Structure 1
Amino acid sequence: MSTQEYQVTGMSCGHCETSVREEVGKIGPIKQIDVSAATGRLVVTADETVDDSAVLAAVDEAGYEAERIA
C-alpha cells in the first residue's frame, strides 16, 4: 500500500474538495482520496505508487496547484 501527500493551494470549500477528488479519481485504481480545504491537504492511497505528475495534472485540471510533501 502506498500513501502520498500533497499540499494544494486555492481550495476554500467542499465544492473545491469534490472537484479535486473527482479529477484525481480519474487517474486509476486508487483506494482512497482524502481532501481537506481547511488544511489544503490531499492524501492519495493506492496499492501501488501513483505517478506524481498524474496527480499534479489532475489537481491542475480541477483548477488548483499542488506539490508533493510526503
Structure 2
Amino acid sequence: MSCCSSNGTCSTTTTVEPAPVAVTAVYAVAGMTCGHCERAVGEAVAGLPGVTAVSVDVRGGLVTVSAEAELDDATLRAAIGDAGYALTGRA
C-alpha cells in the first residue's frame, strides 16, 4: 500500500478534527451520606444534556461535572433537587 495517489502525487497533509473542549466545574451538594446518594446524584446529573462525565465524592460533599459547555446552575440545582439533595454552590 502506498501513500501516493494513482496519478503519482503524494500528500503529507493529515486532517485532524480538534478535540471538543470540556468545561469542568465542582459543586457542593448537601445531604449525601452513602452509596445510594452517590448513585442518585450521579444519575441525575449525568442525565442532563451535554454532560460528559460526573464524579461524586460523598464524604467531601462534592460533585465534579464535565460538560460540552458551561452548565446552567439553575438546571443543575433542579436536577439535584429532584433527586432529593441540595446544590449549595460551586466549590
Higher helix share: 1
Which of these two proteins has the greater Rg computed from alpha carbons? 2
Q: Larger strand proportion, structure 1 or 2?
A: 1
Q: Identify the residue that residue 11 of structure 1 maps to in structure 2.
A: 32
RMSD (Å) for aligned C-alpha atoms: 1.1
- For residues 1-70 of structure 1, the aligned pairs below 5 Å read 1-70=22-91
| 5+ residue gaps, structure 1 | none
Cα distance in structure 2, aligned partners of 1:18 and 1:68: 20
Aligned length: 70
Equivalent pair of 1:4/1:68 in contact (CA under 8 Å): no
- More contact order relative to length (CA 8 Å, sep ≥ 6): 1
Instruction: Report percent identity of matched pairs.
Output: 36
SS at match of 2:42: helix
